[in-house]
Structure 1
Amino acid sequence: MRLPILLAAMVTAFSTAMAKAHEFWLSPEDYTVARDGVMQVRLRVGSEMKGHVLSYLPQDIDRFEVIQSDGVRPVEGRMGDNPALVMDARQDGLAVVVHETNDAVATYDDFAEFQRFVAHKDFRTAVTDHTARGLRKTGFRETYRRHAKSLVAVGSGAGADRAVDMVIEIVALANPYTDDLTAGMPLLVLLDGVARPDAQLELFQTSPDGTVTITLHRTDADGLVTVPVLKGMEYLADSVNLRALPNDDVDVGPVWHSDWASLTFHTPD
């Protein structure tokens, strides 16, 4: 009995070490599933749409469910399941897969790592704020949480994405499987349930041959952004928020917290 426990501990340590400073996203085996088919979704962490697959670890998960027109179905996996989600596609229409992690902790032993992170994710005052708070530049901690969604077409794929009450989330305002996206995919970024203005959104486009194209976009005053999309591509949209925690003693506890939103979908040929 000790071997499974040891393996679970090793997987947990690996997933924690890999998760910070990389995107986390839901990766369906197929974004279009027959009405009587099976949805299979993997949890991925990495960069530029390449990375590691994480197993189902209940201690890391706060919320995992599939939302369709007939209601909400929780994902009830077993320790180590991979894919993490395997579920019968019972209901025709658009399925919104939702996954939220529990908080995890990252420790910065190199201030340059923190500087790269805040520059990449466009937190313009984070470095000066860190200094103004009197925080030392090594050995400080940040908690972080992932808020991921994916759109899967079951049968006709008809339906619409919706806000699902996460701290930060990206809502698709068009259905990529049924709507005309010639003018682009309209997205809404929400933070604490309200529109997030002037926020960076990073878009990853993966072509059938595996080529990844990355572009940066910004929401308008209403939290809206329309991103250009092409047919036959996989997309990951990513937006991150960083907050200062009410603690300025790095020896007492974490001093920053980040929330990461991701949304994946596919555009049919």
Structure 2
Amino acid sequence: MKALKQAVVALALLACGIRAAQAHEFWLIPHDAQSHTGAQVLFELRIGSGLPGKRSVRIPGLVADFTATDANGTYAVSGHDNSLVLGHLRSRTAGATLAALQTHQAQITLSATEFEAYLQEEGLEKILLQRREAGDSAQPASELYSRCAKSIVLVDGKSEGFDKTLGLPLELIPLTEPLHYQSGEAYRLRLIRDGKPLAGTQVKALLKGYFLKARTDEKGEVTFTLPGPGVWLFSAEDMVPSQNPDAEWESVWASVTLDVGEKEAL
């Protein structure tokens, strides 16, 4: 069954017209990044190497867990396979509602050229170095990967709870209040792996027309000077040697989307 899920995910990426080696970003887009109590919020899945990405259906076997957390607690996000709406919910209370998707693990094998280019793009120099030291730089690589995608919806013009930690394997947590952010100021996030700060890791910040990169410090924190308001995508990846004999490497990807610097009158 696990092998079937892996095959389905890989084939679905190819069916979407995006080679798996190029489908680096994986994120949730809410139809309404700011909502109000009682309103329905729909989420789309986007994949690709940059914005706006390619809209993807909810692939059978993809979703391991999909929940939302607000001031009232955590509940399941509704959805069904093969739909362009990945999931939907009704906002229950003022403040931040944090939708979090975790995928099942999937596997991919890349040529040496593809894998080395991908490591360079994602800032995974530590893996490049390990491959070089092992004499494997010219060898293909097999990777097991999973995704942790969050989207933060701000309800009734309030943002309380935007910085809540959800306990994902790899998680990006905004630290700067988003609604009152002014362009040109510092916007901070923290990256944690299994509950602990992850230092020295590349984090990307994307908005249409903008693409920023920075690395986390010893506290797992990263700072961007965002040039404009909008629904920003932040993403990061961590990779380690695999304990599974079927693959050399295992990676976890994290992303978070939220509306920064746009306070709407609801």
Matching of residues 38-117 of structure 1 within 5 Å: 38-108=40-110, 110-117=111-118
Q: Higher mean Cα deviation, 121-130 or 75-84?
A: 121-130
Equivalent residue pairs, number: 251
1:1-269 to 2 correspondences below 5 Å: 13-15=11-13, 18=18, 19-21=20-22, 22-108=24-110, 110-133=111-134, 135=136, 137-160=138-161, 161-178=163-180, 183-206=185-208, 212-246=209-243, 253-267=246-260, 268=262
**TM-score by structure 2 length?**
0.85
In the TM superposition, what whole-angstrom CA distance separates every residue of 1:205-239 from its partner, at most 9, and x where no partner exists?
Answer: 22xxxxx2111111111111121124432211111
> Secondary structure of 2:243's partner?
coil
Whether the 8 Å CA contact 1:170–1:190 is kept in 2: the answer is yes
Using the TM superposition, give the Cα deviation of residue 111 of structure 1 relative to its aligned residue in structure 2, in angstroms. Answer: 0.9
1:246: how far off? 3.4
Q: 1:175 to 1:119 in 2, by over 3 A?
A: same
Q: 1:154 to 1:50 in 2, by over 3 A?
A: same
Distance 2:40 2:166 in 1: 23
Q: What residue identity is the alignment partner of 1:165?
A: G
Distance 1:235 1:158, change over 3 A: closer
SS at 1:222's partner residue? coil
Q: TM-score, normalised by structure 1?
A: 0.84
Post-superposition CA distance 1:183-202 (Å, at most 9, x none):
32210011121111122111
Q: Give the AA of the match of 2:13.
A: S
| Runs of 5+ consecutive residues of structure 1 not aligned to the other structure | 1-8, 207-211
Pairwise CA distance, 1:147: 0.8
Q: Contact conserved, 1:12 with 1:57, CA < 8 A, in 2? A: no
Q: Distance in 1 between matches of 2:13 and 2:257?
A: 20
Question: Following the alignment from structure 2 to structure 1, what is the Cα–Cα distance between the partners of residues 159 and 250?
Answer: 37
What is the alpha-carbon root mean square deviation over aligned residues? 2.4
- Cα deviation, 1:110-169, whole Å, max 9, x if unaligned, reads 211011111111222423422544658455310111111111111132312211111111
Cα displacement string for residues 38-80 of structure 1 (whole angstroms, at most 9, x for unaligned residues): 1111111012213222222351111111110001111131222
Q: In 2, distance between residues paired with 1:233 and 1:148?
A: 18
For structure 2, the residue ranges without an aligned partner over 5 or more in a row are 1-6
Counterparts of 1:174 and 1:13, CA distance in 2: 39
